[in-house]
Amino acid sequence: MIIAKDLGKTFLTKQSKVEALKDFTVEIKSGEVVALLGPNGAGKTTTVRLLSTIYRPTTGGAIVGGYDIITNPIDVRRTIGIAPEQPSLYPRLTARRNLQFYGDIYGYDKYKLSGRIEELLELFDLKEVIDRPVSSFSKGMRQKLSIAKALIHNPSILLLDEPWSGLSPHATKELRQLIKQLAEGNRTILISTHNLAQLELIVDRILIISKGSLILDSSPAELRTKFHVNPHLKLKIEGNKELKSIVDDLDYIVNVESLGNGEYELEIKSFENTPDLVKSLVTSSIRIHEVSEINPSLEELYLTLVSE
């Protein structure tokens, strides 16, 4: 559980004063998976660092995993696992030695720890490179190892700061799958990112911050209804059959737009309705060339929100 109240951080440099985070108030329940969304410089890293007691807040405070970040920082650090924006791994040491170092800090006994390391590297598909120095790792491998490092002591709270920065589409997809897996347990996860598309299907809740202020806090579904944004389907069918008459009596179809040449863009209430839609088309003997999900809408919504 994470409770933040009026959490704020101001940096004083010689030339200027930067309010990196202002009055951040939020309550994240145990087991919730939350996206912390915002453009570059919004204050995401500052928030993560405040919650992990790396930074001392200028104003307000927070309780993380039951411990106060100001009066009890060491217990907070024992409770959380963190994968910082820049993977905190020793390039000259092997993957195993890196994890060992952190495992030792959390007081694992030797045998349990080596089991835990193997198990984690298995999960993250890094078992083959376990004894290779991290300097030989690709960016994706480092990112995965960094998350494995954060999980070494099986923390109940996981903080991930931009886990997919600089990853290839393939690595991104793989990592998303992994995070989804981690989210299934009863772990509280806070993921900072500026890329909503990666998270939409994983998270329970979205926090959007911009210029240090929390400007939105809601679930993905709420967000859609609130702003009337529904998922879209792209559909390509045989010839010039008229689609409108068939889908008209399907109540989950919100809007149909013809793009010509048998191509349509359908606004649909949820992707869960896709199988039923396909079934209806098949029953009406319509040959389907292509059905694909397009889901740019939340991302677009987010972009307009933060640019305001």
Partner 1 sequence: MDFRLVYILFKKELDEIVRSKYVLFSLLFMPAFFFILSVTSTIAPVLSGTTGEADPLFSSLKFTDNWNELSIQQKFFIISAEMGIMMLLFLPLILPNVIAADTFAGERDRGTAEGIVASPLTESEIYLGKICGALLPSLIPFWLFMGLYAITIDYYSKDVLGFYYYPNIRFVLFFLFLGPLFGFATTNVMVWVSTRTSTSRDAQQLGGLVIMPLIFILFGTFVMAIMLSWKVLLIVILVLIILNYILGKIGMSILDRENWIK
Q: Are strands 33-37 and 188-193 parallel, antiparallel or unpaired?
A: parallel
List 1, 3, 93, 305, residue binding partner 1 (CB under 8 A): 93
Burial pattern 270-306, b for ≥16 Cβ within 10 A else e, equals: eeebbeebeeebeeeebeeeebeeebebbeebbeebb
Q: Which is nearer to partner 1, 62 or 277 (CB)?
A: 62
Q: Using CB under 8 A, which of the segments 17-25, 30-38, 78-86, 266-274 binds partner 1?
A: 78-86
Decide if residue 45 touches Mg ion (CB under 5 A): yes
Question: Positive or negative, the Cα torsion across 244, 247, 251, 255?
Answer: negative
List 38, 103, 163, 262, residue binding ligand ATP (CB under 6 A): 38
Distance CA 68, CA 150 (A): 20
- In 10 A of CB 257, how many CB atoms? 10
Distance CA 199, CA 191 (A): 9
Decide if residue 101 touches partner 1 (CB under 8 A): yes
Q: Which is nearer to partner 1, 11 or 282 (CB)?
A: 11
List 27, 29, 66, 104, residue binding partner 1 (CB under 8 A): 104
What one-character DSSP code corresponds to residue 287? P
Amino acid residing at 176: R
Distance CA 280, CA 117 (A): 50
Decide if residue 167 touches ligand ATP (CB under 6 A): no
CB distance 206 to 299 below 8 Å: no
Residue list 83-112, contact with Mg ion (CB under 5 A): 85
Q: Mark residues 135-174: x for contact with partner 1 by CB under 8 A, - for none.
A: --------------x-------------------------
List 2, 4, 32, 46, residue binding ligand ATP (CB under 6 A): 46
Which residues make up the interface to ligand ATP (CB under 6 A)?
Answer: 11, 13, 18, 20, 38, 40-46, 85, 194
